[in-house]
Amino acid sequence: MPEWVEPVVRYILTEGLPATLRVSAIAVVGSAVIGVILGTLLTIEFLPLRALIRLYVEVFRGLPILVTVFMVYFGLPALNSALEYGPLTATSIALILWGSAQVAEATRGAVQSIPAEQHEAAAALGFGWLGRHRSVILPQAYRRLLPPGVSLLVNIIQNSTLAAVIGGIELLQAGKSQTERLTFFPPAGIGEIHAFEIFAFVAVIFFLISFPLTRLAAYLEKRLV
Amino acid sequence: MDLLAYDLSAFVSENWRELLDGLVNTLKVSAIAIAGSFVIGLTLGAARAHRIPVVSQLTAVYVEVIRNTPILVQIFMLFFALPQAGIRLNAFTTAWVAVTLWGGAFNSENFRAGFEAVPKRYREAGLALGFGRLGTFLNVTLPIGGRISLPSSINTYISVVKNTSLMYVIGYAELTTTAVNIAALSLETLEALTVLGIVYLALVWSLSAAIRVVESRLALPEER
């Protein structure tokens, strides 16, 4: 193998991959927690609250995620200098805004698919609204949320590449910076273009992560529904 | 950056020409990509649903590769990696090719699922009535399966429109690139982001509203 390969691969795997995984993990957990809460609240009757959450969901599902990333990365600091985040954190926040909107919509559907008798039975047993949802409704709704949840994970991992647009070093940006480095003259680079090999390598890493997950989502969909 | 200096109307009146050009480019790329992904989705989806040898397997590979790699990586491959193989696409070509390939892959899954949802006995009835295989597809599978796949394929078209914003990375002057570049010079960041937010939401929301109308018009009789 040519000499340039080893440092490039090492940089992508040690600098890029952990960042992609970290951004994705934060975004998935944040989206799940906020999304389930908002989605459950979407099923209650109080209109102003529902309208507010509905607006949140429609706005962040409607915007291109890149625009949301720009809003967090460029827009928030322009509003208040205390809200300045690094590219990776800003991407995580944007992905949580988008992902939680997706989860909220899915949760609303899942909660509403639980028969009314379950609510009534739980209420008859003395559960309040919170206990009823936490102990009876949501555990049943989770089953329906699992397949779209895995699909969301795949989407979040792939969309974490948006960090590259604002200079955050994740898999894609790591590949890009190595591609650029190799085009420099020695000692920094070797004065050659290897964009194809490097971006193909990045694509392969994403494929190896995503493919088993999309299979899993399809399998769960078949089994749980 | 001063919040008191926020002036949306001044921003729009100074830059509306460029912003409009950007919007037109967004719509242009979106229109090409929607038409393209409709054609790709219909043909490859039909090939997969009917298990046409070779085409069906190649489609599966195409779909899995596109679905399991980020679209941004695909754009980088087209724009930064292909020139190494001597293929140079300009920004506009890269833009529509990238979103068409992406939308086509998702859409062929949408159409495949729709065609496969058509009960087998409908097709058998078509064949029994003397339609050939193509005739059965055009008269039975397509009108029924096409409508079943309509909601999911329209969601794909909406994603295609949103994904045109990614052409910022190759500097194609669609709406996002235009607005962000204006803001980079004038420092009117919040105004530019407001315009982007309003225009994209107006686009996406009106598309989804139009869709609901089309959906109810074209719905199968038993679903009305």
* B209 vs B205: CA distance, rounded Å: 6
The neighbour count for residue B68, using CB atoms within 10 Å, is: 21
Question: What does the pLDDT look like over B122-144, one tens digit per residue?
Answer: 988 988 998 888 899 999 999 99
Residue of B nearest to A156 (CA): B70
Q: Are A199 and B73 an interchain contact pair (Cβ–Cβ within 8 Å)?
A: yes
pLDDT at position B222 is 65
**Average pLDDT value for residue range B73-78:** 96
- Helices vs. strands in chain A: H and E counts, helices first: 11, 0
pLDDT over threshold 70, residue B4: no
Which one, of A42, A163, A166, A19, lies nearest residue A102 by Cα? A42
* B129 vs A157: CA distance, rounded Å: 50
- What residues have CB less than 8 Å from B93, skipping those under 6 apart? none
* A215 vs B63: CA distance, rounded Å: 13
* B83 vs B81: CA distance, rounded Å: 6
Question: What does the pLDDT look like over B163-188, one tens digit per residue?
Answer: 999 999 999 999 999 999 999 888 88
Its ipTM equals 0.90
Q: Are A75 and B162 an interchain contact pair (Cβ–Cβ within 8 Å)?
A: no
Residue of B nearest to A155 (CA): B70
- Rounded to a whole number, what is the distance in angstroms from the first to the last CA of chain B? 54
pLDDT at position A225 is 59
Question: What does the pLDDT look like over B28-59, one tens digit per residue?
Answer: 999 999 999 999 999 999 999 989 999 999 99
**Average pLDDT value for residue range B193-219:** 89
pLDDT at position A203 is 96
Question: For B27, phi and psi rounded to 5 degrees?
Answer: -65, -35
Q: B171 exposed, middle or buried (CB, 10 Å; 0-12, 13-18, 19+)?
A: exposed
Q: Are A70 and B180 an interchain contact pair (Cβ–Cβ within 8 Å)?
A: yes
pLDDT at position A148 is 87
Residue of A nearest to B73 (CA): A203
Q: Are A75 and B165 an interchain contact pair (Cβ–Cβ within 8 Å)?
A: no
* A178 vs A198: CA distance, rounded Å: 8
Q: Are B200 and A164 an interchain contact pair (Cβ–Cβ within 8 Å)?
A: no
* Total-model pTM: 0.91
Query: What are B's interface residues with A at a Cβ cutoff of 8 A?
Result: 1, 3, 64-65, 67-74, 76-77, 80-85, 162-163, 165-166, 168-169, 176, 180, 183, 189-190, 193, 196-197, 200-201, 204-205
* B13 vs A42: CA distance, rounded Å: 39
Taking all residues of chain B, what is their mean pLDDT, rounded to a whole number? 91
* A97 vs A66: CA distance, rounded Å: 12
| Residue A208 parent element (H or E) | helix A195-224
Question: What does the pLDDT look like over B81-124, one tens digit per residue?
Answer: 998 888 999 999 999 999 999 999 999 999 999 999 999 899 88
Distance from CA of A111 to the nearest CA of B (A): 22
Residue in A77, A199, A214 nearest the CB of B76 = A199
* B141 vs B147: CA distance, rounded Å: 10
Q: Which residues of chain A have pLDDT under 50?
A: none
- CB distance A65 to A162 below 8 Å: yes
Distance from CA of B190 to the nearest CA of A (A): 6
Contacts 24+ apart (CB under 8 A), B50-59: B50/B115, B50/B133, B50/B137, B59/B108
CB contacts of A164 in chain B (<8 Å) are: 72, 169
Q: Are B77 and A203 an interchain contact pair (Cβ–Cβ within 8 Å)?
A: yes
CB contacts of B70 in chain A (<8 Å) are: 158-159, 161, 172, 206
Indicate the length of chain A as a whole number: 225
DSSP of B13-82:
HHHHHHHHHHHHHHHHHHHHHHHHHHHHHHHHHHHHHTT-TTHHHHHHHHHHHHHTS-HHHHHHIIIIIG
pLDDT at position B12 is 87
* A12 vs A174: CA distance, rounded Å: 5
Q: Are A79 and B84 an interchain contact pair (Cβ–Cβ within 8 Å)?
A: no
